[in-house]
Structure 1
Amino acid sequence: MLKALQEAKDKSINSLVIYLGNFGPEGPLTQMAQRFDGPVMFVSAAEESTACLSNDRGDAYCGMLNASYSANLRNIRPHIPQYPVGTPEEVAVMIGDFVPVARTILGLKGLKIFSFGPRPHDFVACNAPIKALFDLGVEVMENSELDLLDLFQQAEGHQDIPGIVAEMERELGDNNPYPDLLLNWHNMKSHY
């Protein structure tokens, strides 16, 4: 498991699909999910034929249940499809469905939120519902309006402003209801 984790790191793999087989080692696989620094999905194998079995339960659903329990014990939350048991072709579809989930998680993990409110700099209030953001690795920094004003005044005349204004105009396109605001934002200091 440690060797596989190192190989994933060496190859810059940022998302992981753990494919459980019948009687797979759920403990080590769950430990791998716990140590992997990125989104993880659990899926499991379906038997191609149940003709050799005494009943119709021939897939790895039991292993999926064990892996889910093991993940809960380790306080990790892998992505698990609604019905996570499938043939290789069905699992390939599940992986395709996991791609946007993984992209979203990776994007959120790198997110930094700078909020402005009536509280002092870097003060996280107990009434803010942000635990879920912290659980995803999002960093939250709270600032007061005076902090914002101070930053705004320090930015006046900075050489990067014209380029930033041009970039924002390109991003907004014809969806900019206040075109004069971008052009004049660095001159607004005189209003204070």
Structure 2
Amino acid sequence: MDNKIKLGFAPTRRNIFSADAAIKFANLTRNKMNELNIDFVDITDINSDGLLYDDDGMKKIAHKFKNANIDGLFLANENFGTEYECARLAKQFDVPVLLWGPKDEAPAPDGSRLRDTQCGLFAIGKVLRRFQVPFTYLVNVGLEDPEFEKGIKDFIRVCNVVKTFKNTRILQVGPRPFDFWSTMINEGELLERFNISLSPIPLPELTQEIHRLQADNDPKISTTINKLKEIAEIEVSNKDLEMIAVLKVALTNKMNEYGCNSGAIQCWTALQDEIGILPYATESLLQDEGTPVTCETDIHGVISELLVEAATMGMEKAIFADVNCRHPEEKNGELLQHLGVFPFSTAKNKPVLPKSHFVFDYPGSVAFEAKTGNYTLCRFDGDNGNYSLLLGNAQTCVGPYEQGTYLWLKFANLNRFETKLVYGPYIHHIAAVRADVVPILYEACKYLKISPDFYDPIEEEVQAYLRGDITSIIK
């Protein structure tokens, strides 16, 4: 498990129940998290119990967690718990909150009970609601039950989605192309509501960086050329291959300069006129490095990519595709394609850098069919002040050859998917990963303050997965 997500661990108890039992189970929980390689900030230095149960301890815990810059809060109810201290602590953080307690033992022979953990979970949940603190509930299971490991690892993925979303800064290279009114966005609203900021630069600033790199004969250019020769069949000229590499280095430099984790570029037609290539092979390289750059200045599109990729903890790279046309034979089949943009690592076979593409007679596109499998599709979008996240799954199917990067997907009901895109607020661009992360994105929505929106009626199955009743929503 990736340790870049740090949890604040706050086990809690209530005085009327056994403190010794609560301490025992808090330590067992610590041991389990260490076994699972979970990165967490502990509170054993706060008091002799290492537990949350009073105001003095809560204040010290909050101070420690703030200094540690935690990404998520784990409230472990080790006996009945002190619900108001849990809520007071959680209220001070704008991070996902996980609520769980270990399953109670059977009553003792004399009929007494040590912990009443489950009963306390009901109380904590109610008070968190009173404090208007969104939280994730991991059902009342034992530490060795598989639901615990699955639940805490899924929660870390949720934290990663939320952290990525709230810390996104996007390099915007040029305005949107005039013809693409569909990619219009509200920059101020993204900042005010979600802390997502843009770093706009004009195309000449990028081309100036390109010329500087060429004049300096920057060694990163030859490194990038060698990388391209290693991962792809090269059909373009040496001059065009060099420009693909120079553009990649220039975009990387500009993202670093402006502190951006992603970008969006006015990919046509001014750019081709200036540098003579399409930017898509460059974007494919950047996608593989975890710094996605979308075309047509699609800001909401690159946010979609960041979210769906974060849900996999970066283990799967996101593709960015146009939803183009129906399958000629499969009733529920649909083409997802682009002139490039798919990460090279998502190719079924060795990618090709062709001389041109039928849409634009320029070099710089990429050609391959993406890997087969089950995909999660995701589109963050909004208009008129309302934002939502389109979610669902689809399975690859066999389809005709297509120029560029592409895959054919079979949906449970293509009409439902198509209708969602037409009615909006979505457009024809979508992000996808070869993994089942719909439940992770769904759970993250409550912390992002956006509405989850399914194109298939799967919400009940998603909730069953999050409860631990099923292990996958893909049938």
- TM-score, with normalisation over the residues of structure 2? 0.30
Aligned to 2:73: 16
Q: Deviations over 1:11-65 (max 9, x none)?
A: 4543321011333111110221121343321112322222458699x74223222
Q: Quick one: distance in 1 between partners of 2:122 and 2:65?
A: 25
**Structure with more of its chain in strand, by fraction:** 2
Q: Indicate the residue corresponding to 1:79 in structure 2.
A: 136
Asked if 1:32 corresponds to 2:89, the answer is yes
Aligned amino acid, residue 187 of structure 2: D
The sequence identity of aligned pairs, in percent, is: 15
CA gap of 1:85–1:121, structure 2 versus 1, over 3 A, is: closer
Cα–Cα, structure 1 residues 92 and 184, in superposed 2: closer, same or farther, change >3 Å? Answer: closer
Q: Structure 2: which amino acid aligns with 1:153?
A: P
Structure 2 unpaired stretches of 5+: 1-57, 251-270, 276-475
Q: Hey, what's the Cα distance between the residues in 2 that align with 1:7 and 1:154?
A: 43
Deviation of the 1:78 alpha carbon: 1.6
Paired with 2:83 and 2:72, the residues of 1 have a C-alpha distance of 19
Structure 1 distance, partners of 2:233, 2:161, is 27
1:110 to 164, 167, 172: 167
Bigger mean CA offset, 11-20 vs 182-191: 182-191
Give the match for residue 127 of structure 1: none
2:46 aligned residue: none
Question: What amino acid maps onto 1:109 in structure 2?
Answer: K
2:60 is equivalent to residue 3 of structure 1: yes
* Greater RCO, CA 8 A, separation 6+: 1
Distance 2:102 2:244 in 1: 55
Distance of 2:59 and 2:233 partners within structure 1: 51
Distance 1:9 1:22 in 2: 25
**Counterpart for residue 63 of structure 1:** 120
Change (3 A) 1:100 1:121: closer
For 2:141, the aligned partner's letter is G
Matches within 5 A, 1:111-150: 111-113=168-170, 117=176, 118=181, 122=187, 124=189, 134=193, 137-141=194-198
Q: Distance in 2 between matches of 1:121 and 1:47?
A: 50
**Contact 2:102 2:142 (C-alpha < 8 Å) held by counterparts:** yes
Query: Which moved further from structure 2: 113-122 or 94-103?
Result: 113-122
2:221 touches 2:246 (CA, 8 Å); kept in 1?
no
Work out the CA distance in 2 between the residues paired with 1:74 and 1:164: 52
Gaps of 5+ in 1: 125-129
Matched with 2:379 is: none
In structure 1, distance between residues paired with 2:126 and 2:72: 21
Give 1:44's aligned amino acid: G
Query: Following TM superposition, by how much is the alpha carbon of 1:175 offset from its aligned partner in structure 2, in angstroms?
Result: 6.8
* Superposition RMSD in Å: 4.4
Partners in 1 of 2:110 and 2:232 — Cα distance?
A: 62
Matched, 1:44 2:104: no
Provide the C-alpha distance between the structure 2 equivalents of 1:139 and 1:157, rounded to a whole number of angstroms. 27
Residues 60 and 166 of structure 1: is their aligned pair in 2 closer, same or farther, counting only changes over 3 Å?
A: farther
